[in-house]
Structure 1
Amino acid sequence: MLGLIISLIIIGLIAGALARLLVPGRDPIGIGGTILLGIVGSFIGGFLGYVLFHHDKSQGALQPAGIIGSIIGAVIALLIYRRVGSRGRMSRV
């Protein structure tokens, strides 16, 4: 169980950091937010991978395609975060 949590944190950090590098612009989130972004991206990427290709955990939890899916999911989550966050900032002005 501890190994799963550590791997989620490490993969979340990598996927979140790469998503922040791939999407131009400034994001006011720290390392915790980057890890959370990557973890959410992993779930989004895993869900999309299952829907599109019908792969599941029985075929291996850590695969290159899964990591790429995590990065793509993190990019999607970051774009959604920016869209929702920009509405909140505009309403305060």
Structure 2
Amino acid sequence: MTIGGLVAAAVLGAAIGALGRLVVPGRETMPAWLLMAAGVVAAFGGTGLVHLFSLGDGGWNLWEALFQILLSVAAVVLVAAFWPKRTGRDP
């Protein structure tokens, strides 16, 4: 993977993570870097599922976008469930 591919994955991951976060109700408790990481994983996972099921033919694909957003929602829900909640006071 090239540097451009890594940058594109980070940007796409941030966008996919933000879309996943918009779908999940409740307060934001996870940091932005973790949201972006969940989005990057979801973006790669969604692309992998599309290739696994042979649903894509290259270029932009609706199935790929749907899989990426659904995986991002699942990742955000899982991370939010296990990430420590902020209490508003110092330990």
Instruction: Determine the C-alpha separation between the residues in 1 that align with 2:12 and 2:69.
Output: 9
The residue that corresponds to 1:41 in the other structure is 42
Amino acid at match of 1:45: G
Unpaired segments of 5 or more residues in structure 2? 86-91
Report the Cα offset of residue 75 of structure 1: 0.7
Count matched residues. Answer: 84
Instruction: Give the equivalent residue in structure 2 for 1:68.
Output: 66
Distance, in Å, in 1 between the alignment partners of 2:71 and 2:8 is: 17
List structure 1 runs of 4+ shifted beyond 3 angstroms.
61-65
- The answer for the alignment partner of 1:12 in structure 2 is 13
State the identity %: 25
TM-score, scaled to structure 1:
0.70
Contact 2:16 2:69 in 1 (8 A): yes
8 Å CA contact retained: 2:14, 2:39: yes
- How far is the alpha carbon of 1:11 from its aligned partner? 0.5
Name the counterpart of 1:54.
54
Q: Which moved more, 1:61-70 or 1:18-27?
A: 61-70
- Gaps of at least 5 residues in structure 1 are none
TM-score, structure 2 normalization: 0.71
The structure richer in helix per residue is 1
